[in-house]
A and B are shown apart, each in its own frame.
Chain A
Amino acid sequence: MHWMLRALPLRRAPAPSGSRVEEELSPLARAAIDGDVAALRTLLSAVGPNILRVVRRVIGGSHPDVEDVAQECAVEFVSALSRFRGESSIRHFAARVALRTAMNARRRQRAAKRNHGMLDERDADETAGADTPPDALVASRVCVRLARELCDALPPPQAEALALHCVLGYTMSEVAAICGAPLETVRSRLRTAKAALVAHALADPRLRDLVEEMA
C-alpha cells in the first residue's frame, strides 16, 4: 500500500506566494530585456534553481553533464528573453526554455553514444545508492526511464506536454499556459502521450508486479 501513501501529503505547505514573486520578477524581466545587466543577474539568480531542477529531472540528477546542460539552458534563457512577452510567468518561460534545451541535449547525447556503441541502458541515477530499499525503487526508476525515453521518441508537441505534466509535475492548465496552447489541445496531446506510456509499461516485464496489482 506504499503507493497509496505516497500521494498523501505529510504536512500542509505554507500559503503559496507565487503571484507575489512573479510581481517582483516581472519588472526585473523587463529591465533585463532592455539590457540592464544587474537586473539580468538578479533574474538569473531567481530562475537558476528552477532551471537546475528541470535539467535534473530531464537528464537525471546524477548525470555528469548537469552543470554543462544547466549552463546551456541559462544561455538559451538569456537569448530567448527578448521573445518574452509576458503571456506566461517568467518562471514558466524559463522552465519551458530549459526543458527544450535539456531535452535536446539528452537526445544529442543519446545519439552520440548510440553512434559510438556506448549506449548504457541504465540512467546515472539508477546506480546511485539511496536510503530507500532497492526493491521499492525499481518500479519508480523504470517508470522514470520509460517517461524519459518516450520524451525522446514522441513528436515534439506531445513530448513537451508529457515532460511538463509527468516529469515536471505541472497541471494541465499550467501546461496550456506554458505552451500557449488551448487546454483541450494539451489534454488531447497528453491523452496520446499517456496512452503510449501505459502501453510501454504494460510491455515492460520489470513493471509486471505493478501492473498485476491493478488487475
Chain B
Amino acid sequence: MSQVDPTDLLCRSRREELTPDEQRSLNESLTYSLEVKLMNEMLPELERQSRVRSGDDLLLARINARVLSPARISQRAPARRRGLRIALMAAAVVLVAGLAGAWLGAVRQKRALPPPSSSVAPPPSAKPSPPVRLMPAIATPPAEPSFSPVTAPAPPPASSGASPGRAGVGAPKAAFLGSASELFARANLRRRQGRAREAAQLYELLLELFPSSREVGPTRLALGKYLQRAEPARALALYRAAAGGGGALRAEALWGVSEIAASLRERSVSEQALADLLREFPDSPYAEVARARRSDGAR
C-alpha cells in the first residue's frame, strides 16, 4: 500500500475532500512535520489573497475585450498559414537576390566587353576607363537610404526646454528622436517594469510631441489611469479627451469618465457618461456593469 503524502492530504483538505481517517492522519502529521505546518499556514493566506472580489467580473471582461480585440485576433493566424507565409517570403527574397545577382553579373560582363564598333570608339590615344570605377556608381544607390534622417518630426526649438509644470519631461524630450509608436512602446515597458513615474513622463512627452498620432488615445487612457488618484481632475480631462476621440477606446474612456466623475462627486457628468456608454455600446463588457450601477443608484 502506498503512503499518501501529508501535503497531498492538506491540499485535498482545503477542498473538503478528506475522509475522517484521512483527516485524523493529517492532524497527526501537523504535530510532527514542519513542511506540512508551513503549508497549513500558507494555503489559507493564499486563499484569502486570491478570493473573488467585487469588480472581478469587470476586470475579466476588460481583459477579455483587450485580448480578443480584432487587431490582436488578426495577428493570431493559424500555424499552417503562418508557415506558408514564411515560405513565400523566403522564396521572394531568394528570387529578388537571384535577379539582382544576374543583373549585376550582366552589367559587369557588359563593361568588360570591348566596344562593338569603331564609329563610337574613343580615339586611340584615350585610355579606356577601367570597369572598377563604375562599380561604386552601381553599388551606392541602395546604400543611401540607410543614412536618411529619422522620419519623426523634430521638436520645435521654442519648446525644447521643459515646461515648468512638467518637471522631468525636458531631458528625455531633448534626447528622443524616435517615432510615436517607439515612445509609446518605451513608456509601456517602463510601466510594466514598475517604473510608473518614468512611464507617466514618457506618456506626457508623447502627448506633447505627437499630439495627432494614433497612440494618443491609448496614451490618454494610460496616463489617466496613472493620475486617477493623485490628480483626478486631470485624469478626468484625459479620459474626456480620449472619449472625444471616438473609436474602440471610447467605451473604456466613458467608463473612466463615469468612475472619476463619481469620485469627484460630479454626479451629472458620471450619469451622462454611463448613459452614453449604454446607448453607444450596449453590448460592451462595461454596459452590463453600468446597468447594474444605474439600477443600484435608482434604488
Question: CB within 8 Å of B: which residues of A?
Answer: 3-4, 6-9, 11-13, 16, 35, 37, 40-41, 44-45, 48-49, 52-54, 56-57, 60-62, 65, 67-68, 70-71, 74-75, 78-79, 82, 108-109, 112-113, 116, 118, 125, 130, 137, 139-141, 143-144, 146-147, 165-167, 169-173, 187, 190, 194, 197-198, 201-202, 210-211, 213-214
Write the nearest CB–CB distance from B187 to chain A, whole angstroms.
13
Chain B interface size band reads: 35 or more
Going nearest first, the 6 A-B pairs with the smallest beta carbon separation are A61-B49, A140-B45, A112-B193, A56-B50, A9-B16, A48-B60
A6 and B42 contact, CB distance less than 8 A: no
Apart from A52-B59, A68-B192: 5 A-B pairs, beta carbons within 8 A: A70-B63, A75-B72, A140-B42, A166-B39, A171-B12
A9 and B18 contact, CB distance less than 8 A: yes
B46 and A7 contact, CB distance less than 8 A: no
Residue in contact with A67 in the complex, picked from B41, B62, B68, B79, CB distance below 8 Å: B62
B16 and A13 contact, CB distance less than 8 A: yes
Pull 11 A–B residue pairs with CB atoms less than 8 Å apart, ordered by A. Answer: A3-B41, A7-B30, A12-B16, A44-B67, A65-B192, A75-B72, A147-B42, A169-B14, A194-B7, A198-B35, A201-B38
A78 and B67 contact, CB distance less than 8 A: yes
B50 and A7 contact, CB distance less than 8 A: no
A214 and B40 contact, CB distance less than 8 A: no
Q: How far is the CA of A48 from the CA of B61 in the complex (A)?
A: 9
Q: A4-B30, A7-B30 are in contact. Are A197 and B35 (CB under 8 A)?
A: yes
Q: Which residues of B contact A45 (CB under 8 A)?
A: 60, 64
Which residue on chain B has the smallest CB distance to residue A174?
A: B11
Q: How far is the CA of A147 from the CA of B53 in the complex (A)?
A: 24
Write the nearest CB–CB distance from A158 to chain B, whole angstroms.
14
Q: How far is the CA of A136 from the CA of B7 in the complex (A)?
A: 21
A4 and B27 contact, CB distance less than 8 A: yes
Q: Is residue B78 contacting chain A, with contact meaning CB distance below 8 A?
A: yes
Q: Is residue B56 contacting chain A, with contact meaning CB distance below 8 A?
A: yes
Q: Which residues of A contact B191 (CB under 8 A)?
A: 68
Write the nearest CB–CB distance from B54 to chain A, whole angstroms.
13
Q: Which residues of A contact B43 (CB under 8 A)?
A: 166, 169
Which residue on chain B has the smallest CB distance to residue A213?
A: B37
Q: How far is the CA of A20 from the CA of B45 in the complex (A)?
A: 30
